[in-house]
Chains A and B, each alone.
Chain A
Amino acid sequence: MTVVLSTKLSIPPIHSELVPRPRLIKRLHGGRKGRLTLVSAPAGFGKTVLTTSWVKESREPVGWLSLDKEDNDPLRFLSYLLRALPVAGDTIDDGAIDGLAGQPPPALSELLGKTINQIAAHQTPFLLVLDDYHVIQDETIHGLMQYWLEHQPDPMHLVIVTRTDPPWMLARLRARGELNEVRSRELRFTLQETSTFLRRVMKIDLSAEQIASLDNRLEGWIAGLQLLAVSLQGRRDIDGFIQSFSGSHRYVFDYLMEEVLQQQPADIEDFLIQTSILQQLNASLCVAVTGISDSHQILIELEQSNLFLLPLDEEREWYRYHHLFAELLQGRLAHVYPHKVAGLHSRASTWFEQHAFLERAVIHAVLAGNFNRAAFLVAQNALAMIDRPGLKNIARQMDALSSDVLQRQPWLRVALAWVTLYLGRLGSATLHLQAASQALTHLDDKRLAEEKHIRGHLAAVNSYVLAFQGEMGPAVKSATTALDLLPQEDGAARGMSAMILGTALRWQGDLAGAEEALLRSRAINRSAGNNHVMVFTECSLAEVQIQQGRLRQAALTIARVLEQQDSQQKGDPNRRFSGKGLAYARLSTLELEWDRLDAASNLAQKGLDNARYWGQMDVLITCHLNLATVLQAKGEIEAAAAEIERAKQLAAAVSPWYQAYAGVFEAELWLANNELDKASWWAEKSNLRHDDEPDLKQISGYLTLARVLIAQGNPSQATSLLARLRTVAESSGAIGYVIEAGVLQAVAWQTENEDASALTALEKALSLAEPEGYVHTFIKHGNAMAKLLRNAVAAGIATTYSTGLLAALENRSRYEVPTDPLQLDLLTDREMMVLRLLATNLSIPEIAGELGIAPSTVRTHVKNIYSKLDVHSRFEAVTKASESKWL
């Protein structure tokens, strides 16, 4: 658990005696009635100190959130915001916060709405403070905050502490008397306060004239005054100092800091300058960076002597420097020890890596100019990148740097290969693979172990690419190679490789081999703590179990991994897991099989929302297809067709094999909709023939072909094909397919009036299916199945089960869902596509890249969308569209 979390949510400790500022406290109290208090002034005006004093006096519950640059991600921001709310624990349920993970932006405003209602019902008034709001620059967040302010429930009062006014509609709030402001004019120390500070707090004896002279120069700027006070202590010629100080026009802080630093013993000055590169410091980190062993003692002294070292927690473990002070120290560092800077950052990077603060480790590596190490850290965690958006952004930034040196870094290429792979851009991934191979030839001979490691990653990426292309045999080989090359410590890549190996084997029909590889992956994932790789592995395992006809076991496998993900996530709002979409989709399949259509539908939608937000291509395609299947079962043919269309578009951009895979689903839909000519056309176009020796890799295609044959009136061709399918399935232990083939055989014989054969086939299928409660596989055949089941009951075959299936069948035919009455054709297809992409967090150029059009064209579409939907921002457009269920 990172320490950062706890310090962000706690009210900063007050670290020294303060000048009482009753007039300001009174002013703050006075504004409590409105919605918002804004404390806005440049650095060094005592904003945080004042706010802290105020809230500590307050009798109502107070929530505090200290913001930093990394909070510029809407999900992370909201996550922290909700956690910071001080309302009694049971009101804002943890489920709401955890449910934020993997939700697309429209759901964010829904959640805000829910939260607002809960607060409104709660009654107890409270304060929420957001400190350093000026670090927030993300438009979506500004939009969410604007929304929040407009709908803020009565019990809550928001306090914003910032250096710049937030880009909200403040004028409106001001006009309505809802806004209370404390600005630099109010915050500056008065002469009286300056006097109190110097005499009472700092215990420096000065005359009224001297104080007046200082006040004239400092103009009540608190940070300057503090520094001045420190530099006055222990000085002999106070008057001389004051005179020259007052007479100078030199930048106050600069002038005084020189003085103060000169007064420090050399080792303290060194310590200050060297540690100025750190955003947050603790003793251990300081020792690592400076090599000064009594860092801990120094920190304590610095805090006590009021040299701008602020404690971040009550335990006094973590500190940070006052912003201005740090910036000045850094300037000094660059001036005095420019050659040391890289080394300091390097040491910091190492410490952070050892203590698992990965983002900081990367940032410091980059600042040290050590791009190779930064790229290595990024690539090492390339697979974890999806879980940590911060790293993904860093990778993007590194990519944008594009200096020749950087581009030749093999690790960076590896990282980029993984990222593009996840996005389904096989072409790009392959290019990065080639570039990485190239870069390896330039590698030093001494770096053999590293070279092997990189080759291991390349083999893993390659196996995934091959699997995407349907080349299962080569994928198996490549994954095996990867496992040979990758070192034991790289649990993420090894777990991933074993997962790909298992999945490829599964596609090949070697279910036993697949299970073995996947269990191996599971073990690696557990000990390495891999998160989304874990989900993929478990989902692949569940898929094996489904094929083996072990439905309940599959459901258990998925339930376990979801539970585990949820519990891990509770501890850290910074983690979100992409693979969850896949888990929901698999669960949805099971619910569908068990004829729980509402559950199947909800899970399918949930899975798709999650997958869409993350944009990982194969998960996304799977979720679209899964949703299509559920919609089809519910009789929503048009909606199902739309999902398949989307899946096909995405799949087409990936590989022909993937496209064919999606095509099978389309054929199934046509059959369900009695569009036999289209289904026949598909059968013709596919490479599948009724007299083929089928393999497990294409079994779903063959099963669909059989259905087409039956519909075309060629039942005997179907039954012989199905017999061969059954044999293949049986020898692989794929009981699920055995059942399905058996059901189809029964249907085929039925059409030929071969009742006896039909019944025999059905009986076999029923006996295999009953223990696991299969329903959908039977009843999706509608009336044909009804007749068969009645015969079965009459013949006393599995009577309870058959009767149950008949009832389910009847129920299904009454299942009608009204189609969405809204004007679905308001937007053009293209505009609809752009709107869906707006709902992800892609930028305009990225959307343009996705669609293969120019950014300016995208902007035109966006403008049209806004005007058609009558909205004025991306956020509004997406919210409106999701309310109408277009998304």
Chain B
Amino acid sequence: MTHGREFDIPGHYRIRVRGVLDPKWGDWLDNLALTVGEDETTLTSHVQDQAALYGLLLKIQSLGLPLLSVERVVPDEDLKE
């Protein structure tokens, strides 16, 4: 098992927040795909590495949306962008 290198390459993260976000937020948040549920939004992002992920989380924080979950999607899974 490689120690950290696998996190230096782009990976997919699925982030869920409380509240319904308009799709245009996808742009501001740096090209994310948004899917909305009843009172939550799922953001799917292709982040470069850990630093990029934290940067994204900070942006989400600045909107004041409660964070529900952050999940790493293993790279070889099939994802729609």
A43 near B64 with CB under 8 A, answer yes
**Interface flag for B38 (CB, 8 Å):** yes
Q: Are B28 and A251 in contact (CB under 8 A)?
A: no
Q: List chain B residues, Cβ under 8 A from A176.
A: none
Contact assessment for B20 and A327 in the assembled complex, using a CB-CB cutoff below 8 Å: no
A252 to B21, CA, bound (A): 9
- Check: B77 CB closer than 8 A to any chain A CB: no
Q: For the complex, is A413 an interface residue (Cβ under 8 Å from B)? A: no
Check: B63 CB closer than 8 A to any chain A CB. yes
Residue ID in chain B nearest A327 by CB atoms: B62
Instruction: Specify which of B22, B27, B39, B61 is in contact with A42 (CB 8 Å cutoff).
Output: B61
Cβ of A843 to closest chain B Cβ, rounded Å: 14
Q: Give the CA-CA distance A250 to B41 in the complex, in Å.
A: 10
Query: Which of B20, B27, B62 contacts A324, CB < 8 Å?
Result: B62
Contact A251 B62 (CB under 8 A): no
Question: Is there contact, CB below 8 Å, between B19 and A331?
Answer: no
Q: Are the CB atoms of A251 and B65 closer together than 8 Å?
A: yes
**Binary contact track A211-251/B, C-beta < 8 Å → 1, others 0:** 00000000001010000000000000000000000001111
A885, CB-defined interface residue at 8 Å? no
In the complex, which residues of chain A have a beta carbon less than 8 angstroms from the beta carbon of B21?
Answer: 250-251, 254
Q: For residue A43, which residues in chain B have a CB less than 8 angstroms away from its CB?
A: 61-64
Report B-chain residues with C-beta under 8 Å of the C-beta of A164.
Answer: 61
Closest Cβ–Cβ distance, residue A44 to chain B (whole Å): 5
Interface presence of B24 (CB below 8 A): yes
B25 within 8 A of A: yes
Does the CB pair A249–B27 fall under 8 Å? no
Cα-based distance from A248 to B19 in the complex (angstroms): 10
Interface code A399-418, partner B: CB below 8 Å = 1, 0 otherwise?
A: 00000000000000000000
Which of B39, B61, B62, B63 touches A249 (beta carbons < 8 Å)?
A: B39
B-facing residues in A313-369 (Cβ within 8 Å): 323-324, 327, 330-331, 334-335
CB distance from B14 to the nearest CB of A (A): 18
Q: How many A-B contacts if CB must be within 8 Å?
A: 51
A251 and B20 contact, Cβ closer than 8 Å, known pairs A331-B28, A334-B27, A334-B28? yes
Q: For the complex, what is the distance from the CA of A822 to the CA of B41, rounded to whole Å? A: 62
Q: A164–B54 Cα gap in the complex (Å)?
A: 13
CB <8 Å contact, A327 and B63 = yes
The CA-CA distance from A330 to B29 in the complex, in Å, is 11
Q: A42-B61, A163-B61 are in contact. Are A252 and B27 (CB under 8 A)?
A: no
- Taking a contact as CB atoms under 8 Å apart, the answer to whether B64 and A223 are in contact is yes
Query: Which of A42, A248, A335 contacts B64 (CB under 8 A)?
Result: A42
Pairwise interchain contact A250-B20, C-beta atoms closer than 8 A: yes
Query: A54 within 8 Å of B by Cβ?
Result: no
Write the nearest CB–CB distance from A228 to chain B, whole angstroms: 15
Interface pair B63/A335, CB less than 8 Å apart:
no
Q: Is A661 an interface residue (CB 8 A)?
A: no
Count chain A CB atoms within 10 A of each CB in B24, B25, B63, B65 and give the residue with the most: B63
1/0 contact trace for A160-177 toward B, CB 8 Å?
Answer: 000110000000000000
B24 nearest in chain A by CB position: A335
- Among B22, B28, B61, B64, contact of A250 (Cβ-Cβ < 8 Å): B22
- Contacting residues of chain A (676-715) with chain B, CB-CB under 8 angstroms: none
Question: A224: nearest residue on chain B (CB-CB)?
Answer: B64
User: Would A251 and B39 count as touching, CB distance under 8 A?
Assistant: no
Query: Are A44 and B27 CB-contacts (below 8 A) given A249-B38, A250-B20?
Result: no
When C-beta atoms are compared, the residue in chain A nearest to B59 turns out to be: A327
User: Please, what's the 1-or-0 string for B46-70, where 1 marks a CB less than 8 Å from any CB in chain A?
Assistant: 0000000000000001111100000
Q: Which residues of A contact B19 (CB under 8 A)?
A: 249-252
Contact A254 B64, CB 8 Å, known A249-B39, A331-B28, A334-B28: no
B residues 1-56 touching A (CB-CB < 8 Å): 19-22, 24-25, 27-28, 38-39, 41
A594 in the interface (beta carbon within 8 A): no
Most buried by A among B24, B38, B64: B64
CB-defined contacts of A163 to chain B, threshold 8 Å:
61-62
The 8 A CB mask of A32-44 against B (1 = contact, 0 = none) is: 0000000000111
- For A334, the chain B residues whose CB sits under 8 A away are 27-28
A254 in contact with B22 (CB, 8 Å): yes
Most buried by B among A44, A249, A251, A327: A251
Given A331-B27, A334-B28, check contact A253 B64 (CB 8 Å).
yes
CB distance from B62 to the nearest CB of A (A): 6
B40 to chain A, nearest CB (A): 8
A559 to B34 Cα, complex, angstroms: 64
- A251 and B22 form a contact (CB under 8 A): yes
| A335 in contact with B61 (CB, 8 Å) | no
Instruction: Please give me the residue from chain A that is nearest to B19 by CB atom.
Output: A251
Q: What chain A residues lie within 8 Å of B39 (beta carbons)?
A: 249
- Whether B28 lies near A330 (C-beta < 8 A) is yes
Contact A221 B27 (CB under 8 A): no
Q: Which residues of A contact B20 (CB under 8 A)?
A: 248-251
Closest partner residue, chain B, to A323 (CB atom) = B62
Q: Considering the chains assembled together, what is the distance between the CA atoms of A251 and B19 in angstroms?
A: 5
Distance of A244 from chain B, by nearest CB (Å): 14
Inter-chain CA distance A254–B61, complex, in Å, is 15
Contact A324 B22 (CB under 8 A): no
Closest to B37 in A: A249
Distance in angstroms from A391 CB to nearest chain B CB is 23
Neighbouring A residues of B65 by C-beta, 8 Å: 251
Complex CA gap A323/B63 in Å reads 9
Chain A residues with Cβ below 8 Å from B38 are 249
Considering only CB atoms, which chain B residue lies closest to A248 in the complex?
Answer: B20
Q: How far is the CA of A323 from the CA of B39 in the complex (A)?
A: 24
Check A324 against B28 for contact (C-beta < 8 Å). no
> Which residues of B have CB within 8 Å of A249?
19-20, 38-39
Residues of B contacting A323 in the complex (Cβ-Cβ under 8 angstroms): 62
Of B21, B41, B62, B65, which is in contact with the most chain A CB atoms at under 10 Å from its CB? Answer: B62
* Bound Cα distance from A323 to B19, whole angstroms: 19
Q: How far is the CA of A42 from the CA of B18 in the complex (A)?
A: 14
Tell me the nearest residue of chain A to B39, going by C-beta.
A249
Contact B24 A324 (CB under 8 A): no
How distant is the Cα of A44 from the Cα of B41 in the complex, in angstroms? 20
CA distance A331 to B32 in the complex (A): 14
A254, B22: Cα distance in complex, Å: 8
Query: Does A324 lie within 8 Å of B63, measured CB to CB?
Result: yes
Q: Which residues of A contact B63 (CB under 8 A)?
A: 43, 251, 253, 324, 327
Q: A249-B19, A249-B38, A251-B19 are in contact. Are A44 and B24 (CB under 8 A)?
A: no
Chain B residues, CB < 8 A from A251 = 19-22, 25, 41, 63, 65
Could you tell me the distance between the alpha carbons of A164 and B67 in the complex, rounded to whole angstroms? 14
A484 CB to nearest chain B CB (Å):
47
Q: Which B residue sits closest to A45, measured CB to CB?
A: B64
Closest-by-CB residue of B relative to A43 is B64
A524, B62: Cα distance in complex, Å: 47
Q: Which residue of A lies closest to B36 (CB)?
A: A249
| A43 to B65 Cα, complex, angstroms | 10
Contacts of A335 in B (CB 8 A): 24, 27
Flag A835-874 by CB within 8 Å of B: 1 or 0 each: 0000000000000000000000000000000000000000
Residues of A within 8 A of B28 (CB): 327, 330-331, 334
Q: Is the CB of A221 within 8 A of B64?
A: yes
Q: Which residues of B contact A44 (CB under 8 A)?
A: 64
Q: Which of A462-493 contact B (CB under 8 A)?
A: none
Q: Which of A251-273 contact B (CB under 8 A)?
A: 251-254
Determine how close the nearest CB of chain B comes to the CB of A276; give it in whole angstroms. 12
Residues of B within 8 A of A221 (CB): 64
Question: CB distance B24 to A331 under 8 Å?
Answer: yes
A253 cross-chain contacts in B, Cβ below 8 A: 63-64
| A212 → chain B closest CB, angstroms | 19
Q: Give bound CA distance, A331 to B62, whole Å.
A: 13
Q: Interface residues, chain A, CB within 8 Å of chain B? A: 42-44, 163-164, 221, 223, 248-254, 323-324, 327, 330-331, 334-335
Q: A251-B21, A251-B65 are in contact. List 7 more A-B contacts (CB 8 A).
A: A42-B64, A223-B64, A251-B19, A251-B41, A251-B63, A324-B63, A327-B63
Q: Can you show 9 pairs from A to B with CB atoms below 8 A apart? A: A43-B64, A248-B20, A250-B20, A251-B21, A251-B22, A254-B21, A254-B22, A327-B62, A334-B27
